[in-house]
Amino acid sequence: MSKIASLIPASLRSAKPSLIRVLNNKYGSDPQMVNLTIGEPDFNTADHVKLAAIKSILDNHTHYPHNWGTPGLRDAISQYLATHFGVHYDPSSEVFVTEGASGAISTIINGLCQPGDIVLIPCPAYTLYRINAQMAGAKSVELRTQEPDFKVTPQLLKDALDKYGSRVKVLVLNYPVNPTGVTYTPDELRALATVLKQYNVAILDDEIYAELTYEGHHFSLAKLLPDQTLLVSGVSKNAAMTGWRIGYICGPNDVLRSLAKVHQAAISTTATMNMDAAEEALRHGDHDTAVMKAAYDQRRQYLIKAMKKICFHFTQPSGAFYLWVKIPDNFAGNSMAYAEHLAEKAKVAIVPAAAFTNLPVRYFRISYAASMEKLRQAITGFAKVFADDQASYND
Ligand SMILES: Cc1ncc(COP(=O)(O)O)c(C=O)c1O
């Protein structure tokens, strides 16, 4: 141990790295393994977007940009949200560009929470909310959603808000949901908004998968509760731009003015040429998104059919690129044990529920942001393991 390692606080030392990353690192380099762990588009960024970045560099957009993001990108975000989802934000005062949607999440949680405060997280949920609450010294409280769709209900929300009172600073709402692939209907969101209106709580409204809604239209909570909602999104998923690290927060100006200080203290601002590329993607990328979405939808439908045929039970997916699958009842171990079982016997790497909740949920997540060939290979592996397991239980 180095001399200064002892200076690291115990809370940080004990914080666990994302299990998804751990599994991806473990299985990603194994050529025998079909790796369906990471939620990363398997498409490349469109050429016109790459060219916009190259042009940006050649035009010497190589200086510090405005710390809220370039005016061009903020304007593009504002127009994009208005035309695609009918939500309206003033580009100069209500749109703030962050380092990926991850930067938006950490900025909101670290900006709003102090030690002892509470972040409510309907679980299962993407790992970053919990990790950031921990970093801020806040307490994350998991809302225990139920099968089959694992959606938060107005009653669940009300009970938690009444129980924890003014300690609750942030409620996380993410939809389409990573990891379950479900989404909320306008009526469901209206019912949640009716409850939320009665409390002084900020909503970290993570809509990063909004464009990948396969059934019905995505409806934004920001339409219902503009005064409480911090809308988080980005270009990672809709434009296959995970490596460019561009996300954003839209919300009330007085809150953004404070959050801007948090983001500035951490990273000052994101890269100018990447913002120019994101602007191009938002202004002219609808066709690219449509092509990718059609491919994801084809894979989703294939998986639904194939997993049903094997006799796996799963949550009906209508968005994002995830399938949330129930571990067969007769498997004795927990979700981590089942993930290891599938890796060993089916040669398929997936993410166990343990990555998304501390509750003992017996499910796993398949990411179908992978080629049809890989998915077919995975199905062959799953079918064999499922059949072998059933045979061994019947022995
Ligand atoms: C629900 C959710 N929010 C945010 C992110 C982070 O997005 P970004 O890559 O833009 O930081 C992810 C990435 O997987 C996600 O699934």
Which residue among 97, 128, 231, 235 has the greatest number of ligand 1 atoms within 8 angstroms of its CB, and so is best to mutate?
Answer: 128
Q: How far apart are CA 112 and CA 228, in angstroms?
A: 13
Res 275: pLDDT = 98
Ligand 1 atom closest to Cα of 105? 4
For residue 26, the model assigns a pLDDT of 84
The identity of residue 68, as a single letter, is: W
pLDDT class for 395, splitting at 50, 70, 90?
low
Average pLDDT score over residue span 53-75: 97
Ligand 1 pocket check for 174: Cβ under 6 Å: yes
Ligand 1 site, residue 175, Cβ cutoff 6 A: no
CB 213 within 8 A of CB 227: no
- Give yes or no for a contact between 267 and 110, defined as CB atoms under 8 angstroms apart: no
Q: What is the pLDDT of residues 173-226, one digit of tens each?
A: 999 999 999 999 999 999 999 999 999 999 999 999 999 999 999 999 999 999
Looking at the predicted structure, is the pLDDT value of residue 322 above 70? Answer: yes
238 close to ligand 1 (CB < 6 Angstrom): no
- Give the per-residue pLDDT at 120: 98
Q: Does residue 314 have a pLDDT over 70? A: yes
Decide if domain 47-285 falls under CATH 3.90.580.10: no
Q: 77, 109, 129, 236: which to mutate for ligand 1, most atoms within 8 A of CB? A: 236
Identify the band that residue 323 occupies on the pLDDT scale cut at 50, 70 and 90: very high
Task: Give the residue from 284, 320, 307 showing the smallest Cα distance to 382.
Answer: 307
Q: Does residue 392 surpass a pLDDT of 90?
A: no
153-160 mean pLDDT: 98
Q: Using CA positions, which residue lies closest to atom 7 of ligand 1? A: 101
Which region among 167-176, 272-281, 384-393 has the lowest average model confidence (pLDDT)? Answer: 384-393
- Give the pLDDT mean for 88-116: 97
Query: Which band of pLDDT confidence, cut at 50, 70 and 90, is reported for residue 24?
Result: confident
Question: How far is residue 152's CA from residue 137's CA, in Å, rounded to a whole number?
Answer: 25
Helices and strands in the chain: count of H runs, count of E runs? 13, 12
- Quickly state the pLDDT bin for 13 (edges 50, 70, 90): confident
Distance 92 CA to ligand 1 centre (A): 25
Q: What's the whole-number mean pLDDT along residues 40-67?
A: 97
Q: Mean pLDDT throughout 359-371? A: 96
Ligand 1 midpoint to CA 330 (Å): 34
Give the nearest ligand 1 atom to 177 CA: 1
CATH superfamily of this structure's domain 3-44+287-390: Aspartate Aminotransferase, domain 1 (3.90.1150.10)
pLDDT tens, residue by residue, 277-302: 999 999 999 999 999 999 999 999 99
For the stretch 126-135, pLDDT in tens is 999 999 999 9
User: Residues 322, 77, 43, 218: what is their CA dihedral angle, to the nearest 10 degrees?
Assistant: 30
Using most ligand atoms within 8 A of CB, pick from 102, 180, 367 the residue to mutate for ligand 1.
102
| Cα 123 to ligand 1 centroid, rounded to whole Å | 16
Q: Any idea where the domains of the chain sit in the sequence?
A: 3-44+287-390, 47-285
What DSSP designation does 243 have? G
Q: Residue 59 Cα, ligand 1 centroid: separation in angstroms?
A: 30
CA-closest candidate to residue 78, choices 65, 61, 97, 64: 97
| Residues 345 and 380 sit within 8 Å (Cβ to Cβ) | no
Indicate whether residue 178 lines ligand 1 (CB < 6 A).
yes
Q: Are 141 and 120 in contact (CB under 8 A)?
A: yes
For residue 13, the Cα-to-chain-centroid distance in whole angstroms is: 25
> Rounded to an integer, what distance in angstroms lies between the CA atom of residue 68 and that of residue 81?
17
Give the tens place of pLDDT for each residue, 247-264. Answer: 999 999 999 999 999 999
Q: Which atom of ligand 1 is nearest the CA belonging to 320?
A: 16
Polymer length in residues for the chain: 395
The sheet with strand 168-174 has its strands ordered as 95-99, 246-250, 229-234, 202-206, 168-174, 118-123, 139-144
234 Cβ below 6 A of ligand 1? yes
22 pLDDT more than 90? no
Q: Which residues lie closer than 8 Å to 207 by C-beta, 6 or more apart?
A: 85, 174, 175, 218, 220, 221, 231, 232, 233
- How high is the mean pLDDT of the chain? 95
Cβ of 126 below 6 Å from ligand 1: yes
Does ligand 1 come within 6 angstroms of the Cβ of 99? no
What is the whole-number distance in angstroms between the Cα of residue 40 and the centre of ligand 1?
Answer: 9
In contact, 260 and 68? CB cutoff 8 Å: yes
Atom of ligand 1 nearest to the CA of 39: 14
